[in-house]
Amino acid sequence: MSGVRVLVGTRKGAFVLTSDAKRKRWDVAGPHFGGWEVYHLKGSPADPNRLYASQSSGWFGQIIQRSNDGGTTWEQVGNAFTYASVPGTHQWYDGTPHPWEFARVWHLEPSLTDPDTVYAGVEDAALFRSVDGGTTWHELAGLREHSTGASWQPGAGGMCLHTIVLDPADAQRIYVAISAAGAFRSDDGGSTWRAINQGLRSEGIPDPTAEVGHCVHRIAMHPSRPSVLFMQKHWDVMRSDDAGDSWREISGDLPSDFGFPIQIHAHEPDTIYVVPIKSDSEHFPPEGKLRVYRSRTGGESWEALTRGLPQEHCYVNVLRDAMAVDTLDSCGVYFGTTGGDVYASADSGDSWGPIVRDLPAVLSVEVQTLP
Amino acid sequence: MIRIVLPAHLRTLARVTGEVAIAVDPPTTHRAVLDALEASYPMLRGTIRDHVTQRRRPFVRFFACGQDLSHEAPDTALPDAVTSGAEPLLIVGAMAGG
């Protein structure tokens, strides 16, 4: 019988939740790496028992962990993230040049086909790849060396590469997003990159339609339609129908178009989910009501999903990597909050309930659908 | 043998429960002791010193014999009491919230 494994990264460790396909009863294992920040952990699509985890600490730096048994046991692998060329500088908050300095791994994206190949998005923004199961890491330096690189600036959370999307139809095509530089695409396996921010409008930068400088929060792609991308930006929910060459706003009737994650239904490529947040200065749901919004029309028209979610006095946030879907029928949707709760819906978002409560603040949620 | 007391998180990474003892050829400088520690426990590479610059991570401190040795140059010799094994070198996660 099929089942689901939910991988939860938190401020103080990682947790692995498992259930059968009914998704009613959940076993919770953890914390793994207790006391460490786990920005992200994710399984290999090519081997579901191969997991990678980013474990970091303000005291002791970056650790990468690998599991070969679905998260029951872990082994420490390589943690040397060394920029491939002279790091150079980007802009600091005060506008002065600042050397690129590695801080942490925000996101790990395993290859779609090879369990030993995994990409890492890091702060200060750069993309690394390992082809030996995380033992050694090599930077794809063409991204950081983009002609605009010296003008990139950190967002409030640091200058982080937080989103990596691999195209299932084209092994050479990779998308990344950086706060606060914007979205970039490579069509040659990561050697060269182009900024794909045409159509984005950001009032918080001197030229609202500049080539770079946009605070992209998250990009989602449905595997059946890889040229269509959905984006949650700092403000604005956006859509591209041409692989990022151009974007148009689809915020429509959302109560707020600020937010962090965006996800797509596993079987309906025009059904998308966001979690509206009040504003960039008030990182909690509008009116204290935790609501997921679903569009069944690829944007513009949205419905509030509230059943089972707290509808008063709720002031948590849902971070960019903290929402995921399973591929069961009906599609399961999951998200974690900075209040330490993970909510799940086994009916495409119609109803929700907590599957674990009172964890440390949730940084990431990933879901594996198991055979 | 040089005795080293690791902070709890690094003991977990190194899979040890108490002090560690390592042999270090003289001169027993900070650099030599940390090189030997990382050679014996390669999982600690990057956790005490930066991989590239080899600088002490900002929130890691080195104490011994009641003194803070954190700001000494890497090629400074450790106190005789540490070199002789009478006193341990304490590697400490600084009190910094969290």
Tokens read off for B94: 């600084």
Would you say residue B56 lies in a domain? yes
Q: Cβ of A61 and B96 within 8 Å?
A: no
Whether residue A42 is found in the same domain as residue A190: yes
Whether residue A254 is found in the same domain as residue A151: no
pLDDT of residue B97: 58
Alpha helix (H) residue ranges in A131-172:
none
The Cα A211–Cα A194 span in angstroms is 10
CB atoms closer than 10 angstroms to residue A31: 18
Read off the pLDDT of residues A322-353 as tens digits, 9 standing for 90 and up.
999 999 999 999 999 999 999 999 999 999 99
Whether residue A266 is found in the same domain as residue A175: no
The Cα B49–Cα B56 span in angstroms is 4
Question: Are the C-beta atoms of residues A364 and A12 closer than 8 Å to each other?
Answer: no
Whether residue A45 is found in the same domain as residue A187: yes
**Domain ranges, residue A91:** 36-214
Whether residue A21 is found in the same domain as residue A43: no
Report ipTM for this prediction. 0.94
> Percent of chain A having pLDDT more than 90?
93
Whether residue A208 is found in the same domain as residue A107: yes
Q: Cis peptide before A346, with omega less than 30 degrees from 0?
A: no
Question: Of A166, A196, A214, at which residue does a domain stop?
Answer: A214
Question: Are the C-beta atoms of residues B70 and B36 closer than 8 Å to each other?
Answer: no
Whether residue A261 is found in the same domain as residue A175: no
**Which chain B residues touch A35 with a CB distance below 8 Å?**
8-9
> Percent of chain A having pLDDT more than 70?
100
Residue A178 has pLDDT above 60, yes or no: yes
CATH number at residue A329: 2.130.10.10
Would you say residue A158 lies in a domain? yes
Q: Cβ of A36 and B60 within 8 Å?
A: no
CATH number at residue B37: 3.10.20.30
Tokens read off for A258: 């600020």
Read off the pLDDT of residues B15-58 as tens digits, 9 standing for 90 and up.
999 999 999 999 999 999 999 999 999 999 999 999 988 999 99
Read off the pLDDT of residues A78-132 as tens digits, 9 standing for 90 and up.
999 999 977 789 988 888 999 999 999 999 999 999 999 999 999 999 999 999 9
pLDDT of residue B95: 83
CB atoms closer than 10 angstroms to residue A46: 14
The Cα A16–Cα A38 span in angstroms is 12
**Domain ranges, residue B49:** 2-93
Would you say residue A195 lies in a domain? yes
Q: Flag whether residue A74 sits within 8 Å of chain B, measured between CB atoms.
A: no
Would you say residue B18 lies in a domain? yes
Whether residue A86 is found in the same domain as residue A210: yes
Closest Cβ–Cβ partner in A58, A60, A80 for B10? A60
Would you say residue A230 lies in a domain? no
Question: Are the C-beta atoms of residues A186 and A192 closer than 8 Å to each other?
Answer: yes
Would you say residue B47 lies in a domain? yes
When the pLDDT of each residue in chain A is averaged and rounded to a whole number, the result is: 96
Q: What average pLDDT does range B10-16 have in this prediction?
A: 97
Evaluate the CA torsion angle A327, A331, A336, A337 in order and state its sign: positive
Question: Are the C-beta atoms of residues B60 and B91 closer than 8 Å to each other?
Answer: yes
Give the total number of structural domains in chain B.
1
Whether residue A202 is found in the same domain as residue A334: no
Whether residue A251 is found in the same domain as residue A309: yes
Q: Cβ of B45 and A79 within 8 Å?
A: yes
Note which residues in 253-292 of chain A have CB less than 8 A from chain B.
Answer: none
Q: Flag whether residue A14 sits within 8 Å of chain B, measured between CB atoms.
A: no
Burial of A371 (0-12, 13-18, 19+ CB in 10 A): exposed
Whether residue A6 is found in the same domain as residue A66: no
Read off the pLDDT of residues A217-238 as tens digits, 9 standing for 90 and up.
999 999 999 999 999 999 999 9
Whether residue A346 is found in the same domain as residue A287: yes
A82 to chain B, closest Cα gap in Å: 7
Would you say residue B98 lies in a domain? no
Which DSSP symbol is given to B39? H
Give the total number of structural domains in chain A.
2
pLDDT of residue A86: 78
Would you say residue B61 lies in a domain? yes
Would you say residue B48 lies in a domain? yes
Query: Phi/psi zone of residue A9: left (φ > 0), alpha (ψ -120 to 50 degrees), beta?
Result: beta
Would you say residue A234 lies in a domain? no
Q: Cβ of A60 and B52 within 8 Å?
A: no
The Cα B72–Cα A262 span in angstroms is 49
